[in-house]
Amino acid sequence: MTAPKRSHGRVAVRPSLQPRDLMGGPPPLAQAWVAQIITLFPAAFPGVLGESLTGRALKDGKWRLETVNLRDFGVGKHRNVDDTPAGGGAGMVLRPDVLGAAIDAARAGVSPARPLIYLSPRGRRFDQPMARALAQSDGVTLLCGRFEGVDERVLDHYGIMEVSLGDFVMTGGEIAAQAMIDATVRLLPGVLGNEDSAVEESFSDGLLEHPQYTRPAQWQGRDIPDILTSGDHGKVDAWRQDMSKAITKARRPDLWAAWCKRHGVQE
């Protein structure tokens, strides 16, 4: 048994076959949204999730973070979690018996409706609609892969959804998991100080966000657009909408085409 590891102040990570809460403080609120992480590196959490709005919401019990240490379910003297790929090839693959035991422990007593997701570069791309859908559930279980990935039989047996952050490969799923949790938690009730922020930002209506400005009124010879200081809220809203459309059309023609189709607008 290894000694407990501590990080991020009151955060404690202890060897256990059960999921672990990662932050102390007030008890979680009733029906608090739960993020479960199955990982070889539980000490990576909460990471940046323990800061700013997500960290404050975590301390206030508006959501809960649990980790399941995959190493606890390893086999043999050295708690091995991986083995060589069938058919040969480079790298190692996470074993199905180890993964299955970890998933069963994490999902014990959990609603079958709670999404079970494997962070994978071959999965469906994560986006704002998916974040909103996750925020409306009671939580999510995220499986962080390592090495060459996981035994395909695990994905098939549990019906695991594969999700990707984009068309690139990382060394593991932990950073991707933190990004997904951050995008989801900020949509939970009471997390954002101004609920309108989630409505006006990029992707809220399928468009990229309009430009933002603040004081001073002039900087490096550049002025805040006059319309934003005019006091005419109707004109301000129209300007912001026009800018969102122009930026989306120029930078993300795929999003612009989808928005036009949805709203019956000619591109």
Domain segments of the chain as ranges: 5-185, 203-263
- Dump pLDDT digits (tens) for 136-179: 999 999 999 999 999 999 999 999 999 999 999 999 999 999 99
pLDDT of residue 1: 39
**Which pLDDT score is estimated for 31?**
82
Fold matches, 5-185 and 203-263: no
Nearest-CA neighbor of 114 among 165, 182, 184, 55? 184
Tokens 């934003």 -> residue? 228
Kindly report the three-state secondary structure assignment for every residue of 208-231: CCCCCCCCCCEECCEECCHHHHCC
The β-bridge partners of 75 are 80
What is the architecture, at CATH level 2, of domain 203-263?
A: Orthogonal Bundle (1.10)
Give the pLDDT score at 14: 38
Burial (CB < 10 A; 0-12, 13-18, 19+), residue 197, is: exposed
Looking at CATH, the fold of the domain delimited by 5-185 is given as Alpha/beta knot (3.40.1280)
In this prediction, the residues of the chain whose per-residue pLDDT falls under 50 are 1-16, 23
Tens digit of each residue's pLDDT (9 = 90 or more) over 69-98: 999 999 999 999 999 999 999 999 999 999
Quick one: pLDDT at residue 127?
96
- What is the rounded CA–CA span in Å between residue 116 and residue 189? 22
Question: Is residue 199 within 8 Å of residue 237, measured between CB atoms?
Answer: no
- pLDDT at position 149: 94
pLDDT at 27: 61
C-alpha radius of gyration, the chain, whole number = 22
